[in-house]
Amino acid sequence: MWQSRVVEIWVGLFVAAGLAALFMLAMQVSNLSVMSTEGGYTVDSHFDNVSGLKVRAPVTIAGVRIGRVTDIGFDSKTFQAVVTMRISDRYNKIPTDSVAGVYTSGLLGEKYIGIKPGIDDTNLKNGDRVKGGQSALVLEDLIGKFLFNKAAEGPGK
Amino acid sequence: MLDILQSFGQFGLGFFERLGRATLLLFNMVLGLHELLPRPRLVVKELYSVGVLSLLIIVVSGLFVGMVLALQGYNTLVDFGAEQSLGVVVALSLVRELGPVVTALLFAGRAGSALTAEIGLMKATEQLSAMEMMAVDPIRRVLGPRFTAGVISMPLLAAIFSAVGVIGGYFVGVGLLGVDQGSFWSQMQSKVDLYDDIFNGVIKSLVFGVVATWIAVFEGYDAVPTSEGVSRATTRTVVHTALAVLALDFVLTALMFGEH
């Protein structure tokens, strides 16, 4: 009887340790903790090009993450990309005339949305639209522009 | 010429015959599982020998695998100035691949071989026949609890392996190599997805658990009832489980992470 009690206690410990490990993986390692704390309000923004931007990319002001991209859609009337983002409630004092842009962190880093704050007295609220500014940088366009400028400077330079 | 053909045919027929017997055994076991519900003690006893006794090797190897991953990953990443991503490298490789696969291989060596030897010896000493004489179905009384215990303990062991590995990687990465603690965890949390990575890893380890325990139990039940037969069956368990796990891992990885 004593023997089987010891065995059962060990098995109980084993199962508890396994579940605790799963819980630790879920909470500490994965993005569950980041996602679950996010309430907040959603705003959207139109861009000419968002290539490389992914859902759940960070939304930042002055480099501080204030929310995440929740959806990337396409407006078939204006042929623009519609980026929906959720901004956490703590940051509810963002002027309505702020401008959003698609930026790259580092040379090879991920795309993220950066918001440049405006000066308006009214603040953004749920469902508002942020003006879309800087689009994603497309390397081919950039090279094209460079070559065009180079050619416009004329020969012999 | 014909002899060669015949040996090929014999090999193929033998293979499919064994596969068929193994499948029938699996069906029989699964059909008899409900009879374990009123007797959970049987499973608990097997959980002890299959799961608890494997804990030591799993924890120790998990710790060292995580530490080695951190060391190797750091050496590569530091060239690109990306050593902040060390946490991502360690966590993703553990949760997606190494956790389930290495745990399954260790499980086959530690628990699978023991299961085969135990059941094979029971057969060799005619304990299984004695049970049948008493109208006790050995598949449900002996094999079922062991199979259930294996299937339950594999995901738990794999989770413990991954968690301990991440902690080992943390010790080496942050403690020894001086990676920033905050970016170690925060990069890991932002890149590791609960569904895509952790949930799929658990599914993998569950599948490996079914396969590893199934092979172990079948080899024991199917062993030639001599001491030589049992020793051969034990060897086959380890070899076949390793092959099956590695091949299945490729298929599962292609299914889970292929389309992106």
Rounded to an integer, the average pLDDT of A1-8 is 76
Which pTM value belongs to this model? 0.76
pLDDT of residue B178: 82
Nearest-angstrom CA–CA distance, A90 and A84: 18
3-state SS of B155-179 is HHHHHHHHHHHHHHHHHHHHHHCCC
Residue A34 pLDDT exceeds 60: no
pLDDT of residue A37: 52
Q: How many CB atoms lie within 10 A of CB B235?
A: 13
pLDDT of residue B33: 84
How many Å lie between the alpha carbon of A23 and the closest alpha carbon of chain B?
9
Closest residue on chain B to A15 (Cα): B156
Question: Percent of chain B, pLDDT > 70?
Answer: 99
- Pick from A14, A32, A35: which is nearest to B52 by CB? A14
pLDDT digits (tens, 9 = 90+) for B50-76: 888 899 999 999 999 999 999 999 988
pLDDT of residue A156: 57
* A13 chain-B contacts, CB cut-off 8 A: 52
pLDDT of residue A71: 85
* B188 chain-A contacts, CB cut-off 8 A: 29
* A25 chain-B contacts, CB cut-off 8 A: 95, 159, 162-163, 166, 198
pLDDT of residue A33: 54
Rounded to an integer, the average pLDDT of B24-48 is 86
Mean pLDDT of chain B: 89
Nearest-angstrom CA–CA distance, B18 and B24: 10
Q: Of residues A124 and B158, which shows the higher confidence score?
A: B158
Residue A38 pLDDT exceeds 70: no
Nearest-angstrom CA–CA distance, B211 and A110: 39
pLDDT of residue A117: 87
Q: Do B189 and A10 touch (CB under 8 A)?
A: no
Rounded to an integer, the average pLDDT of B155-163 is 93
Residue A123 pLDDT exceeds 80: yes
Give kind and range of the element (H or E) at residue A80. strand A80-87
Q: What is the pLDDT confidence band of residue B136, given thresholds at 50, 70 and 90?
A: confident
* B185 chain-A contacts, CB cut-off 8 A: 28
Residues 138-157 of B with CB under 8 A from A: 152-153, 155-157
Q: Do B156 and A19 touch (CB under 8 A)?
A: yes
Q: What is the ipTM of this complex?
A: 0.77
- Pick from B45, B159, B188: which is nearest to A22 by CB? B159
Q: Cα–Cα–Cα angle for B137, B115, B106, nearest 5°?
A: 150
pLDDT of residue B237: 92
Q: Tell whether the torsion through CA atoms of B154, B159, B162 and B164 is positive or negative.
A: negative
Q: Do B157 and A18 touch (CB under 8 A)?
A: yes
Q: What is the pLDDT confidence band of residue B216, given thresholds at 50, 70 and 90?
A: very high
* B48 chain-A contacts, CB cut-off 8 A: 7, 10-11, 14
Highest mean pLDDT among A139-148, B60-69, B139-148, B194-203: B60-69
